[in-house]
Structure 1
């Protein structure tokens, strides 16, 4: 685990920051929110929930499915999936033991009341602690920027998905593989300079998913519904020209974008 990841999601507890209202940790999907009106905590939470809904809809999860979230944080997205999508089980996995502990505490009543419906486990995206294909859907929301090896993540996703199962992932990547992109982002954004976020082209993930045997691999930009709302929310704390406001700048300069990536494990023939 990179030291910046260990600190940010451990002692620093990013989920406790007002910036990430409600205990989610994502930039939000703001399509249904009026950005010309004052934004409050309710709108912020709605944006984060809507990002999960966008991903879960893309995963096309059937009722009574088994869902795995990679990089679950406090498990708020897992809880939303339980409330709104009718799965048989939801498993939240996170690399950070502190996040797993917090998720179990936050959802202790659900875990106690309905054993087996919701669980949280520690594990890395590149080395998942599951023995066989058992999931109808693998989702991940704004965690892939931390994954150290996209090829290993793709291979593990393919391994744990059942035939016909789908991956749906939301995250930010560089728009191309120009060699100067990591340096550009490190100069613009402290999270890339510190190593918390890793600058990689979206094609690095889509190519890895294809190489792992997944099919119908697609990457769609959803940045128009992420970056402006995120920047407006950031303006409550940071002035224009400060580094957090450079996410929108990087998008406008066609350096960084936000993507919804989907793929499917082929069904077995015969």
Structure 2
């Protein structure tokens, strides 16, 4: 259970009292950098464009996880649950569980989705749990997804094993997050020098190959990572440019990408049929 997995202080504070979802750059209650392929970056970016970018990142993951109509979905690191609501609205799963380690986030999720929970109580729930120790039965879900949460996970190997455990045979997982492109040990120091979220321990620098290998070690097949960095970093930086000056740490995400220390990926894998 989540109670046996201790949150790092940076995670506890950022998603608790600080309430990252209330920061204007994360308009709409989503907490992700966005997928900007459908937004004209040559024009002024509206709040509506920003919300669309965040919704479109979810759509990338929902597409990557494969058909999910009438299936049972789990989102790991659901935050305010607005992605769960989008999945219910557009993907028509039978049921979706939003899981988060932070109790304050779950309180906010239940409040933000109160009308949906009342209208469709049999199709949506929010549960406290850790990525490394999920409070679910073996084979409970057809699909597992996670959107911009894996950079916080303490143990990627434990996450992979738990994902394999809760997936049904034939089930699929899709994870979107940012990782280093290779296992060069110097990435970590360079990212900490550029980005406050790495320096204070909120984000953890890991090679993308770690998660694909971990999923494979856990018994999943066809683990692969696809870069979507070109559709993420420029739009994110363009959105920030009205609020942050060049050289300030949030603007350094684009610099880290351009210098080869960081990229954004969608990672997928499948549990073999029994």
The two structures have a TM-score, normalised by structure 1, of 0.98
Q: CA deviation at 1:62?
A: 2.9
* Mapped partners of 2:106, 2:250: distance in 1: 27
Question: Is 1:71 paired with 2:77?
Answer: yes
Q: Give the alignment partner of residue 216 of structure 1, picking from 202, 212, 222.
A: 222
Q: Give the alignment partner of residue 199 of structure 2, picking from 193, 204, 218.
A: 193
Q: Give the alignment partner of residue 142 of structure 1, picking from 140, 143, 148.
A: 148
* 3-state DSSP of counterpart to 1:178: coil
Q: Deviations over 1:12-66 (max 9, x none)?
A: 0000111100000000000011000110100000000000000000011331011
Q: CA deviation at 1:236?
A: 1.4
Partner of residue 157, structure 1: 163
* Mapped partners of 2:171, 2:210: distance in 1: 21
Partner of residue 123, structure 1: 129
Is the 1:61–1:137 contact (alpha carbons within 8 Å) kept by the matching residues of 2? no
Q: Give the alignment partner of residue 50 of structure 1, picking from 52, 56, 59.
A: 56
* 3-state DSSP of counterpart to 2:122: coil
Question: Is 1:102 paired with 2:108?
Answer: yes
List gaps (5 residues or longer) in structure 2.
1-6
Is the 1:61–1:136 contact (alpha carbons within 8 Å) kept by the matching residues of 2? no
Q: CA deviation at 1:108?
A: 1.2
> Size of the alignment, in residue pairs?
268
* Mapped partners of 2:242, 2:26: distance in 1: 12
* Mapped partners of 1:31, 1:114: distance in 2: 32
List gaps (5 residues or longer) in structure 1.
none
Partner of residue 3, structure 2: none
Q: Deviations over 1:199-229 (max 9, x none)?
A: 0000111110000000010100000000000
Q: Give the alignment partner of residue 88 of structure 2, picking from 82, 86, 105.
A: 82
* 3-state DSSP of counterpart to 2:177: strand
* Mapped partners of 1:111, 1:237: distance in 2: 35
Question: Is 1:166 paired with 2:145?
Answer: no
Q: Give the alignment partner of residue 113 of structure 1, picking from 106, 111, 119.
A: 119
Q: Deviations over 1:169-221 (max 9, x none)?
A: 10000011111111110000000000000000001111100000000101000
* Mapped partners of 1:219, 1:132: distance in 2: 25
Q: CA deviation at 1:132?
A: 2.0
Q: Deviations over 1:63-97 (max 9, x none)?
A: 10111000000001000000000100010000000
The two structures have a TM-score, normalised by structure 2, of 0.97
